[in-house]
Structure 1
Amino acid sequence: MKKSTLINSELSYLVATLGHTDEVTICDAGLPIPPSVQRIDLALTHGVPSFLQTVRVWLSESQVEGVIMAEEFASVSPQLHEALLAELASEQEKTGKTIAISYLSHEEFKSRSQQSRAVVRTGECTPYANVIFQAGVVF
């Protein structure tokens, strides 16, 4: 049995097969996911698992060099946005690597997420709780 934090087989496989700059979206329960993109649906009920729980596990297993969020996230859901920024700051401190942060309109974000290798759906019901992670390298 796998010993590390991430025990979900689909997510574990995804992390193991990512290449530099590949993108993965972690989203709330409402983000539209087109049939052309792999959907990894973790949502059990409202709030389970939460966006931040999923982000923390993702960061524990994958090297991230950039994130993309919707501009609306900061103004509509400022507490969760700030919590995500704190997680990213903590990750930068742990790894010694900078994580570039950029923003798009929500419409542009939805379009960009369609280029992701996979979209991971959480049970989060906070508006705009979505992030695209860009894979980095550990060396």
Structure 2
Amino acid sequence: MRRHGLLHAELNRVIAAMGHTDTLVIADVGLPVPPGVPCIDLALLPGTPSFAAVFEAVYAELAVERLTVASEIHRKNPALVDLSTRIRAEGVGVDEVSHDDLKRLAARAVAVVRTGETSPYANVILHAGVTF
């Protein structure tokens, strides 16, 4: 058993198997999971676990080269705007696409991690980087 960090066995396996440019989606409770893409469903209750908690746990474990978010966050999700600003300041690229394009891009992900988040457009695609 791990002493700290991400404890979810299936999520750890997915992250450990990811290669450079593979993608992982962290999604709110409403994002449709594309056919054929595995879903790691963490949703327990509305808001639990939160997008922020899951994002921070995964971000601490995965080498992230860039993120993709929906451009609609500027109108509907100030918390995700703040997160994007913080990530950019850390030197990680942040791409913005329409929500419809984000849903299409999710079809290429190695998995979708479904949270209990209920705020609008709380979805992000993490693009794996390298550690060297």
| Shift, 1:3, TM fit | 2.2
The answer on whether the counterparts of 1:56 and 1:87 sit within 8 Å (CA) in structure 2 is no
Q: Please show how residues 1-139 of structure 1 align to structure 2 within 5 Å.
A: 1-78=1-78, 80-85=79-84, 87-89=86-88, 92=90, 98-139=91-132
Q: Aligned residues, how many?
A: 132
| Shift, 1:84, TM fit | 1.7
AA partner of residue 130 (structure 2) = V
Unaligned runs of 5+ in 2: none
The answer on whether the counterparts of 1:66 and 1:99 sit within 8 Å (CA) in structure 2 is yes
TM-score (norm 1): 0.90
Cα distance in 2 for partners of 1:34, 1:82 equals: 25
CA shift digits 1:23-73 (9 cap, x unpaired)? 000000000002310100000000000000000001111110010011101
TM-score (norm 2): 0.94
Cα distance in 2 for partners of 1:66, 1:89 equals: 9
Cα distance in 2 for partners of 1:29, 1:55 equals: 14
| Shift, 1:87, TM fit | 4.8
Is the partner of 2:47 in helix, strand or coil? coil
The answer on whether the counterparts of 1:37 and 1:119 sit within 8 Å (CA) in structure 2 is yes
The answer on whether the counterparts of 1:48 and 1:124 sit within 8 Å (CA) in structure 2 is yes
Cα distance in 2 for partners of 1:86, 1:56 equals: 15
| Shift, 1:88, TM fit | 1.9
Higher fraction of helix:
1
Cα distance in 2 for partners of 1:119, 1:36 equals: 11
Q: What is the CA RMSD across the aligned residues, in angstroms? A: 1.3
Cα distance in 2 for partners of 1:68, 1:89 equals: 12
Unaligned runs of 5+ in 1: 93-97
